[in-house]
Structure 1
Amino acid sequence: MGWLSDVLKRNKELEWMYDLDLVCETSQRAYLKKMALETCINFIGRTISQSDFRVMKNGKRQYDDWHYLLNVRPNTDQSAADFWQNFIYKLIDENEVLVILTDTNDLLIADSFVRTEYAVYPDVFSNVVVKDYTFNRTFRMDEVIYLTYNNEKLSQYMDGMFNDYAELFSRMIEISLRNNQIRAIVSVDTTQSLDEDSRGKLQDFIDKLFASFRKNTIALVPKLKGFEYTEVASGDKTGVSVDELAKLKRSLIDDVANILGIPNALIHGELAEYETSIKAYVRFCIGPIIKKIGDELNTKLMTKDRYLKGDRIAVIGLTEKDLVEQAEAVDKLVASGAFTRNEVRELFGKERSDNPELDKFVITKNYQSAGAAEGGESK
C-alpha cells in the first residue's frame, strides 16, 4: 500500500481519503464444521438414546438400581436420553468417553481427565473434571466405564477438509455478493483538506448511507450540496446460485457421514432408499457402537461367573428386528423346527416365557422328511 500513500500525499486535498473505511473483512465460516458434526453425530446419538438397557438374570429382566441408572435417571441433572446422547457425542467427537460412578451412585460423564497406562495393572484415571469440579481421587479402569472409538479425534481429523470447504464456501459467497452488490461513487466537493472531526462525520454519513441501501427495500437519503452519490453498473449478474451453496454444504455433510458409516440418503431424509439405508445404518454404524457399549457394561457390571451363567446387560434398540414386519419369517422359523418359540422371542429382544410348551420344537407337515407317508402315517 506504500505506492497508494505516495500518490495520495501528492495532493493534500485527497490525503484524508486514505483513512476512510471502504473495505470489509471476510468472516470465517466456522459454522460449516459445527453444522456437519452436529448433524451427523447427533443423528447417531438420537438413535442410541432410544436403546433399552436390560439387566438379565436367569433369562428374566431385573428391575434394580442399575436398571434405573441406565434407563431413567443416570444422575441428578440428566435424563437417560440426554445422558446417552452426550455419551455418544463425546465418544465420536473426542474418540473416547469416561463415565464414573460417584459415592452418591450418580453416573457422570467426564469433561477431561488424565489417563496413566500400565502394562500388567489396570490403567488409572486422575484429574477427572466434571463441569467445574475436579475429583481429588483417582479411578481404576475396573471402576469406570471407558470406551474408545478407534479413530483420531474427529474434530482434529477433519480440520484440514473443513478449512478447504470454508475457504471455497466463502469464495462462493463473495462472488455472489460481488455480482449482486450495489456499486456507487461518492463525490465530495471540497477545496481544502478535512480535519479529523470532519472526516469522522463524513465516514459516519457514508456508513449510514450504505446501511440504508443495503438493508431497506426502499431507501430515502437527503441530497446535500457538494455531495453526490452515483450508482454504477454492477457487472455480471449470473453469479453463484443458492442451490450451489446448498450443494456444497450437503457435500460436506456427506463426507462426515461417510466417515461415520451413515448412509447419505438416510441423513438427508430421503425415503426412496429408506429400507436399504436403514439396514446398512444399523449393521455398519449402530451395531458396532451398541456392541462396544454392551461389552463394556458386561465387563464392568457383571462378574465373570455371573456372565458365564447367563446373566448379562442386554442393549435393545434400533438393531432389533420389527416383530410385525417379520411375522412370516417367525412362522417359518418355528414351523420348520429350527427354533423353539422361546428362542425366537430372544432373537427379537423379548423375554423368555415360563410356559414349558414354548421350549418345545414344533414342526408342520410341510416340513416332514421326504420318506414320510402323506398325512404323517407310515404303512
Structure 2
Amino acid sequence: MGMISKLKQNFFHRSINDIEQYYCSLENDYVYRELAIEMCIDIIANAMLKVDFRTYEKNKRVKNEMYYRLNVSPNGKQNSSEFYKELIRKLFYDNEVLIVSPSAANSELYIADDFSCDDRALKPSKFSGVQIDGYLLNRTFDEDEVIYLKLSDAKTIGLINSYYASYGKLLSAAINNYKRTNARRYVLKGDLFSPQDRSGQSKVNKMMTDQFKAFMEADNAGAAYLLQDSFELQDFSDKAKADSRDIKNLFDDVLDTTAAAMHVPKGILKGDIAGLSDQIDSFLMFCIHPIVALISDEFNLKLFEMDEYLAGNFVKADTTSIKETDITAMATALDKLFAIGAVSVNDVSEKVGTDPIDEDWANKRYVTKNYQEAKLMIENQDSKGGDKDDEKEQPKQIRI
C-alpha cells in the first residue's frame, strides 16, 4: 500500500471529531516546545534592541548613513526593532541569516526569506534564489556583496526539537494522567432494557451523557439529577487527585534545557530576580556578546578593506545600555573615570541618558592635579635629599 493510500485510510476516513482531537493533541505537544523557544528568542531580541552600533572614520566616532541603517531604519519597511527581532528569530531557527541590498543605488538592508548558497571551499560563495517578502530577486550575489551570518556549526533549534521528541512524550503522558486521575466516573445500575448491540448501546450512552451533562459540568453553580427508585448511582472516581505540579516540573525541565541550549540564564527566563545582576552578566557574556561580535565582525569584513580598517574605519557595538543601572550607583565610578581622563563630560552624559552639550570643552578630557608620572615623583623626592643610611635600611616609599 502506498503512502497516499495509507493517508487516505488512516486520516481522511476519520470522523470530524477524531480529526479535531488529532490536531489538538499535536498542538498541545508542539506548544510547550514553541513556548520555551519563543521565550528565549524574545529575551535575546529585546536585549539586542539596546545595542548601539557605532561607526568610526579615522578612529573618530561619526553618524553617517551606515549608522542610520544599523540603529534607526535598515530599510524603508522596517525600523531597527523589527529588523533585529526578525534577524534573531531567523538566526536561531535557520542557523543562518542573509542580509542583502537589492539595489546598488542605496544602502538599504533586507533580510532574505529564502536563498540558495553555492558554498565553495577555496573560492568566494555565490548566493542565488534570494527572496524578500515573497519577491524573487533576479540576480546572483557574490560573497563580498552580502552580509552572511551563521550562528554555529550545529543547528540549535534542531537539537532542541530532537530532545523534545523524546522528552515531550513524558509531558504528554503527565497531562493525560492528570486528566484521567481527576476525571469523574459513575456507574448507573438499574432495570434499563435496551438492545444489546452497538447501535443500541450507543444511543443509551448518549442519552445518559446528555442527562448527566448539566449535573457534571463544573461551571454550573448548582445542578440536580432525578434518580428513579429502580436506579443506583455509584461513584468510581479516583479518591486520590493528581497534582498539576508534575506537569509544571516537566515543563520547567523543558525551559531549563532550552535556556541552557540558547545560553539564557534560567532565572531570567522564569523571572527570578534573585541574583539578577550576576544573571545579566552571564547573559551578556555567553549569549549577547557573541551574537553582537558575529554581526559587527561581518559588517567590518564586508564594508572595509584591511587598509581602511587599520586606518580607523570600522563598526563597533556598544552593549553597556543593556544592563540598567541606577544613576546614583554609577556616580562614584563615573567621577573616578572622569578624574583620570578616561571619559569626557559628554561621555558621562551619554552613560546617564542625558543630552550632550554642544561645546568643545564638553568633549575634552581632564585629569586632576593629584595625578602625575611616578618617575617625576621619584625625581622630586631625590631632589629634596635625605639620610643615605636610612635609604639603605629601608626601601623608598612613594605616596600617590
Place the TM-score, normalised by the shorter chain, in its bin: 0.7 to 0.9
Q: Which runs of 5+ in 1 are unaligned?
A: 1-20
Tell whether 2:53 aligns with 1:53: yes
Match of 2:180 in 1: 178
Tell whether 2:228 aligns with 1:230: no
Change (3 A) 1:210 1:119: farther
Q: Is the 8 A contact 2:194 2:201 kept in 1?
A: no
Q: Is the 8 A contact 2:195 2:201 kept in 1?
A: no
Q: Which AA in structure 2 matches 1:84? A: Y
Deviations along 1:271-314, whole A, 9 cap, x unmatched? 22011111111112111111111111112223333221112112
CA distance in 1, matches of 2:77, 2:207: 52
Superposition pairs for residues 98-247 of structure 1, below 5 Å? 98-103=98-103, 105-185=107-187, 189-192=192-195, 202=204, 204-205=206-207, 208-209=210-211, 212=214, 213-214=216-217, 216-218=219-221, 220=223, 230-239=233-242, 241-247=243-249
1:45 positional shift: 0.9
Q: Percent identity?
A: 26
CA distance in 2, matches of 1:202, 1:31: 37
SS of 1:70 mapped into structure 2: helix
CA distance in 1, matches of 2:198, 2:282: 70
CA distance in 2, matches of 1:142, 1:372: 57
CA distance in 2, matches of 1:180, 1:357: 70
1:224 positional shift: 9.3
CA distance in 2, matches of 1:74, 1:357: 29
CA distance in 1, matches of 2:231, 2:79: 64
Q: Is the 8 A contact 2:40 2:259 kept in 1?
A: yes
Change (3 A) 1:44 1:219: same
Change (3 A) 1:157 1:229: farther
Q: Is the 8 A contact 1:47 1:318 kept in 2?
A: no
Report how many residues are paired: 351
Q: Is the 8 A contact 1:44 1:88 kept in 2?
A: yes
Match of 1:259 in 2: 261
1:136 positional shift: 2.2
Change (3 A) 1:366 1:178: farther
CA distance in 2, matches of 1:199, 1:310: 85
Q: Which AA in structure 2 matches 1:230? A: L
Deviations along 1:108-143, whole A, 9 cap, x unmatched? 212221110123332111112223222221111111
SS of 1:120 mapped into structure 2: coil
SS of 2:175 mapped into structure 1: helix
SS of 1:125 mapped into structure 2: strand
SS of 1:27 mapped into structure 2: helix
1:177 positional shift: 1.8
Change (3 A) 1:67 1:139: same
1:148 positional shift: 0.8
Match of 1:315 in 2: 317
Q: What is the aligned-residue RMSD (CA, Å)?
A: 3.9
1:203 positional shift: 5.8
CA distance in 2, matches of 1:357, 1:109: 37
Tell whether 2:291 aligns with 1:285: no
Deviates more, 1:290-299 or 1:224-233: 224-233
CA distance in 1, matches of 2:169, 2:213: 26
Deviations along 1:208-233, whole A, 9 cap, x unmatched? 45654245334657759899683423
Q: Is the 8 A contact 1:257 1:263 kept in 2?
A: yes
Q: Which AA in structure 2 matches 1:237? A: A
CA distance in 1, matches of 2:229, 2:56: 87
Q: Is the 8 A contact 2:96 2:148 kept in 1?
A: yes
Q: Is the 8 A contact 1:97 1:148 kept in 2?
A: yes
Change (3 A) 1:357 1:313: closer
Q: Is the 8 A contact 1:99 1:144 kept in 2?
A: yes
Match of 1:89 in 2: 89
Q: Which runs of 5+ in 2 are unaligned?
A: 1-17, 386-400
1:255 positional shift: 1.1
1:341 positional shift: 4.0
Runs of 4+ deviating beyond 6 Å: 224-229, 348-351
CA distance in 2, matches of 1:98, 1:365: 51
Q: TM-score, normalised by structure 1?
A: 0.77
Deviates more, 1:143-152 or 1:244-253: 244-253
